[in-house]
Amino acid sequence: MLKFFNTVTGGYGTLIAYGLAAGLVLAGLWYVYDLGGDNRQLAWEAKYSTLVANYASAALAEGTRQANANADAKAAEATAIATIDAQSVALQELHRKLKDEASSDPTSTDDCLNRPARLRVNQVR
Task: Give residue 3's pLDDT band: very low, low, confident or very high (50, 70, 90).
Answer: confident
Range(s) of the domain holding residue 55: 2-124
Range 39-45 average pLDDT: 83
Cα–Cα–Cα angle for 78, 84, 87, nearest 5°?
Answer: 140
Question: Distance (Å, rounded) from C-alpha 86 to C-alpha 81?
Answer: 9
Number of separate domains in the chain: 1
**Which tens digit of pLDDT belongs to each residue from 82-103?**
999 999 999 999 989 888 887 7
pLDDT at residue 44 tops 90:
no
Residue % of the chain over a pLDDT of 70: 94
Q: Comparing C-alpha atoms, which of 64, 44, 41 is closest to residue 52?
A: 44
For the entire predicted model, the pTM comes to 0.49
Query: E strands, 1-125, where?
Result: none
